[in-house]
Amino acid sequence: MEAASLWAATPGAAVLGAPQTCSDSPVPGGGVGSTPGGAVLPGREPPYSVFTVLVVTLLVLLIAATFLWNLLVLVTILRVRAFHRVPHNLVASTAVSDVLVAAVVMPLSLTRELSAGRRWQLGRSLCHVWICFDVLCCTASIWNVAAIALDRYWTITRHLQYTLRTRRRASALMIALTWALSALIALAPLLFGWGEVYDARLQRCQVSQEPSYAVFSTCGAFYLPLGVVLFVYWKIYKAAKFRFGRRRRAVLPLPANVKEAPQEAEMVFKARCPATVTFQASGDSWREQKEKRAAMMVGLLIGVFVLCWIPFFVTELISPLCACSLPPIWKSVFLWLGYSNSFFNPLIYTAFNKNYNNAFKSLFTRQR
């Protein structure tokens, strides 16, 4: 979501706070003084510094990687029948929101960063589209992370009551509520006149700066799901600690003439044609390994989510309430740090699932 005072930077500021070029004699159109052949006059700096070009290149690579990686996850879920169930529908919902962030929100935000003075030069209609998609997709991505955490929590702590049918219904309900709440937060300024997002005179496009909307949007888009995921991980940690502690106390030394029970095996899906199932022996039971991986995945997902988004939402909440503002460079850093969460999400929840790795290999093998 776009930082409110990010657009309030002084005219002529370069992207991400890079140094501006100055000229004693103004040039029509605000350009840098140059010869008719296009060469830069002696003593004048180029319009974009090396630092700016490097930063823009990194942001373009971030956009491309975010889009392609999430698209790969979506294609895999659609093509592999074993993924047409919970929890992969939650992963697919997250990937859809992150693909839209990379395809719509991030390119327009980069265009805005590159414009002189960070003005919005694409008109009122596209401004409304951009702001709506910005709030909608980022909020949906955040709530999808909370939904994945809740699903993992119920799977670990209530695996007997949390049946496949219950899990399917719960995931469908969470997905519907995620997108409905995200749409409400995104469309509230347009539907209820809750502040203005576009100023034609200043060429400014920003999220509504009404203090009441700032509280409503930041709490609904971040602080409430943050509370959910922190509570969920605390419960997962307590449940895992209690269960593994109880298992250690239950282990007794075996007599010399008694053999140790055989190790249980873990079922792993192999996405080949035809599909195969293999079993891998392990010292821990299959369910214990699954719970450990789920706890690690949820913990890493939550940690990255908090690190990426909390700087942006803290400033987004404080700025409208106290009428204070950070330097534009920090606003841009916090904004793109939040966007980068859409890149990390698919990396995390596929790294802890062997089925995705096998499906990716199978997908690329078939293409050859």
* pLDDT tens digits, one per residue of 11-25: 444 445 444 443 443
Could you please report the per-residue DSSP string of 145-196? Answer: HHHHHHHHHHHHH-TTTS-HHHHHHHHHHHHHHHHHHHHHHHHHHHHH--S-
Least confidently predicted of 23-27, 73-77, 172-176, 256-260: 23-27
CB 304 within 8 A of CB 197: no
Q: Which residue has the higher pLDDT, 340 or 260?
A: 340
Query: Averaged over 209-229, what is the pLDDT?
Result: 92
Report CA dihedral (200, 204, 210, 211) to the nearest 10 degrees. -160
What does DSSP say about strands 265-270 and 276-281: parallel, antiparallel, or unpaired? antiparallel
Least confidently predicted of 110-124, 183-197, 258-272: 258-272
According to the model, what pLDDT value does residue 361 have?
79
Phi, psi of 52 (to 5 degrees): -65, -45
DSSP 3-state of 245? helix
Phi, psi of 119 (to 5 degrees): -85, 155
Residue 24 and residue 6: Cα distance in Å, rounded?
28
* pLDDT tens digits, one per residue of 172-186: 999 999 999 999 999
Among 56-60, 231-235, 359-363, top mean pLDDT goes to 56-60
Residue 340 and residue 105: Cα distance in Å, rounded?
12
Global confidence as pTM: 0.75
Nearest CA to 145 out of 63, 66, 87 is that of 87
Q: Which residue has the higher pLDDT, 313 or 350?
A: 313
Query: Averaged over 94-99, what is the pLDDT?
Result: 96
Residue keyed to tokens 């930063």: 55
Q: Which residue has the higher pLDDT, 256 or 151?
A: 151
CB 149 within 8 A of CB 229: yes
According to the model, what pLDDT value does residue 13 have?
43
